[in-house]
Amino acid sequence: MLYTKSKYEIELMKAAGRSLAELLESLNDVVKPGVTTKELDKYSESVIMKNGALPSFKGQPGIYGAPPFPASVCASVNDEIIHGIPDNRVLKNGDIVTIDVGCSYKGYQGDAARTYEVGECSEETSRLVRVTRECFFEGVKNAIPGKRVIDISGAVQDHAESNGYSVVREFTGHGIGRELHEDPEVPNYRSKYKGIMLIPGIAIAVEPMICAGGYATKTDKNKWTVRTADGRLSAHYENTLIVTDGEPVITTLI
């Protein structure tokens, strides 16, 4: 059964999204050489809770024997695609770090990610970050009534590949609401799965994960952190959005 959100539920999701939007914007001034990913985690949790929300990632159950996720954000550095566990790693000039974060407000979720440049990055690195962001907005042009999920997926893939990059296959965007991950699945590439028809009230998280090299992945021994198999850089850009009668409402963007 297709699950759409009521006006009341959408307002609560907007509130959750505003907390994340504020956090992610403020991180532009916090991410810099010399900071650790654990410090970014502690800062992020404090901002979320100051706004009356709760971090959604902490304690999320793992799969394939992984322990519950121990932090409020995923902090993925350089070749790490997703699920990087914050620790005492010190960010260096020229690194990139993706902060992927979720929060709940009165039981409703927001989910978003940004890849930040640490200090001065190479032109090549900056281009990957920029194109990944562009992939999101190309995809979201199709987040309107009458389109299908595959229209979002195809637009993301086309923009990435036209710029010489590849798109991660194993992990996708998703529906969102009371749960952090709901139906439908929202791939970043075309597949046999055309996806549902989009109608007003559907809430989804669209999250291009784009690689400078190939899209093959490998998972660290911690059973959480996923990185590129070839060691090349990867960037990630995500927002939660609500399909409306017209343009989508992006809840996690200022």
DSSP lists the bridge partners of residue 250 as: 241
Cα torsion 73, 77, 83, 88: sign: negative
Distance CA 204, CA 214 (A): 26
- Contact between residue 139 and residue 158 where contact means Cβ atoms under 8 Å apart: no
Summary mean pLDDT of the chain: 97
Distance CA 254, CA 109 (A): 17
For residue 207, pLDDT beyond 60: yes
Q: At what angle do helices 7-30 and 37-50 cross, to 10 degrees?
A: 140
Distance CA 143, CA 197 (A): 10
Q: Work out the percent of the chain whose per-residue pLDDT is above 90.
A: 95
In the chain, how many domains are there? 1
The secondary structure of 136-183 as a DSSP string is HHHHHTT-STT-BHHHHHHHHHHHHHHTT-EE-SS--EEE-SSSSSEE
At 33, is the secondary structure helix, strand, or coil? coil
Q: What order do you get walking across the sheet with 209-211 strand by strand?
A: 166-167, 209-211, 234-236
Whose structure tokens read 């850089």?
233
Question: In this predicted model, what pLDDT tens digit does every residue of 104-143 receive, in sequence order?
Answer: 999 999 999 999 999 999 999 999 999 999 999 999 999 9
Q: What is the pTM of this model?
A: 0.97
Q: What would the mean pLDDT of 3-20 be, rounded to a whole number?
A: 96
1 in a domain, yes or no? no
152 in a domain, yes or no? yes
Q: What would the mean pLDDT of 14-20 be, rounded to a whole number?
A: 98
For residue 151, pLDDT beyond 70: yes
Distance CA 198, CA 92 (A): 42
Report residue 192's pLDDT band, with 50, 70 and 90 as the boundaries.
confident
Check residue 2 and give its pLDDT.
Answer: 62
Question: In this predicted model, what pLDDT tens digit does every residue of 67-104 receive, in sequence order?
Answer: 999 999 999 999 999 999 999 999 999 999 999 999 99
Tokens of 197: 């028809």
* Residue ranges making up the domain that contains 84: 7-250
Nearest C-alpha neighbor of 233 from the set 134, 94, 136, 63: 94
For residue 20, pLDDT beyond 60: yes
Tokens of 80: 């790490």
Which CATH number belongs to the domain containing residue 185 in this structure? Answer: 3.90.230.10
Question: In this predicted model, what pLDDT tens digit does every residue of 215-243 receive, in sequence order?
Answer: 999 999 999 999 999 999 999 999 999 99
Count the alpha carbons within 13 Å of 212 in the hemisphere toward its beta carbon: 19
2 in a domain, yes or no? no
At 221, is the secondary structure helix, strand, or coil? coil
Report residue 150's pLDDT band, with 50, 70 and 90 as the boundaries.
very high
For residue 1, pLDDT beyond 60: no
